[in-house]
Amino acid sequence: MPIVIIGSGTMGSGIAEVLLACGGSAVLVDPDAAARERAQTRIAKNLARSFEKGRIVEQPEDCLARLDMSDTPPVDGVEWVIEAVPEDVALKQRLFGELDARYPETVWLASNTSSIAIGRLQSCTRHPERVGGLHFFNPVPRMQLVEIIRGLETSEDYLAAARTLTKRLGKIGVIVPDRPGFLVNRVARSYYLEALRMVDEGQAPMELVDEVMEGAGFPMGPFRVMDLVGVDVNLSVTRSVYEQTYYDERYRPHPWQEELVERGYWGRKSGRGFYRYE
Ligand code: NAD
């Protein structure tokens, strides 16, 4: 049964790639034709590289044959719908209302949101028990963890199905609470914000902060991670956690993040973030 993925950006295309690589079928839905085309090219390139490196044994063309691209979600023969549209509460709420009306209650609906409470999406549906979070991390093919978010009304059956799905994708699914930032993004706020404050206060240059944190065993320093994730994406997660914690000072976004985002310095994807890229 194909899995329907709504939104063909960084995360949607990554989830589709993993699904295809492990023998599954995907329908990638995006109203933006250019985004669909970029996603298809990216997935084809990545699968070809995985094949060359021996990470998959199936021919990339055979994997790609199980991918459909569409501007509307198909209805028949669907077991899972995974939403990966931009981090915008109103957009996601509207979408979950539409998906709930479109699909029978036996179809599981998941959001890949980084920080929006699943309860806020459940509140727009008639069947909140089949709604939960499946929070994949970037880059999806490489990151093992998936946070399975249990909203107030998420059923045990949903959680069991989510565990089965994450296992099938070769991931480690861990159930986490429906609190702002869930688990990883909540704890990681301090990692980024404290580093921003230290450098901004002139206590250390950012290169040193990255170097030292990597030396201490973190796979990537905070500035390098922000550039990888997207300075804009990271800022929107910080803002969302800040707002949802009723403006807890610990999560207040840093002006430096705002400045870079306004200037279009969004990290690797735009050629410049905290660092410059070729
Ligand atoms: P993105 O901007 O790369 O992609 C979003 C895609 O959604 C775009 O292609 C856009 O055309 C499409 N879209 C917009 N409205 C749509 C609609 N109504 N129906 C279908 N498609 C629509 O975003 P992303 O980085 O892939 O993030 C997607 C979600 O995943 C967000 O909630 C984000 O917080 C979360 N997330 C992102 C990361 C990351 O590192 N980028 C990591 C984990 C989770």
31 lines ligand 1 (CB under 6 A): yes
71 lines ligand 1 (CB under 6 A): no
Domain spanning 3-177: which CATH class is it, in words? alpha beta
What is the three-class DSSP state of 8? coil
154 lines ligand 1 (CB under 6 A): no
CATH hierarchy code of domain 185-269: 1.10.1040.50
Would you kindly state where each structural domain of the chain is located, as residue ranges? Answer: 3-177, 185-269
Is residue 147 part of the annotated active site? The answer reads yes
Q: Which of 114, 115, 236, 240 is catalytic?
A: 114
Report residue 75 as tokens: 């209805």
Q: Which residues 6+ apart lie within 8 Å of 189 measured at CB?
A: 181, 238, 241, 250, 251
Read off φ and ψ for residue 58, nearest 5 degrees: -75, 145
State the distance from the centre of ligand 1 to the C-alpha of 13, rounded, in angstroms. 9
pLDDT tens-digit series, residues 72-94: 999 999 999 999 998 889 999 99
Cα separation, 204 vs 10, in Å, equals: 32
Task: Specify the residue with its C-alpha closest to ligand 1, atom 40.
Answer: 229
**pLDDT (0 to 100) of residue 14:** 98
If one residue of 11, 72, 229 were mutated to test the ligand 1 pocket, choosing by the most ligand atoms within 8 A of its CB, it would be 11
Q: Which of 135, 234, 236, 240 is catalytic?
A: 135
**pLDDT (0 to 100) of residue 147:** 98
Is residue 25 part of the annotated active site? The answer reads no
Report residue 253 as tokens: 């976004």
Read off φ and ψ for residue 4, nearest 5 degrees: -90, 125
Strand order in the sheet with 80-83: 67-70, 26-29, 3-6, 80-83, 108-111, 131-136, 145-150, 172-177
Task: Specify the residue with its C-alpha closest to ligand 1, atom 1.
Answer: 9
- 191: enclosing H helix or E strand: helix 184-200
Report residue 232 as tokens: 């804009």
pLDDT tens-digit series, residues 92-133: 999 999 999 999 999 999 999 998 999 999 999 999 999 999
Report residue 138 as tokens: 């970037």
**pLDDT (0 to 100) of residue 177:** 93
Report residue 139 as tokens: 């880059």
9 lines ligand 1 (CB under 6 A): yes
Length reported for the chain = 278
70 lines ligand 1 (CB under 6 A): no
33 lines ligand 1 (CB under 6 A): no
Cα separation, 110 vs 80, in Å, equals: 8
Report H helices in 73-181: 89-102, 118-122, 156-168
pLDDT tens for the chain, residues 1 to 278: 889 999 999 999 999 999 999 999 999 999 999 999 999 999 999 999 999 999 999 999 999 999 999 999 999 999 999 999 988 899 999 999 999 999 999 999 999 999 899 999 999 999 999 999 999 998 999 999 999 999 999 999 999 999 999 999 999 999 999 999 999 999 999 999 999 999 999 999 999 999 999 999 999 999 999 999 899 999 999 999 999 999 999 999 999 999 999 999 999 989 999 999 98
What is the 8-class DSSP label of residue 170?
Answer: T
7 lines ligand 1 (CB under 6 A): yes
**pLDDT (0 to 100) of residue 174:** 98
In this structure, the number of other CB atoms found within 10 A of the CB of residue 153 comes to 17
In ligand 1, the atom with minimum distance to the C-alpha of 8 is 9
Closest of 47, 98, 94, 106 to residue 72, by C-alpha:
98
If one residue of 38, 137, 233 were mutated to test the ligand 1 pocket, choosing by the most ligand atoms within 8 A of its CB, it would be 233
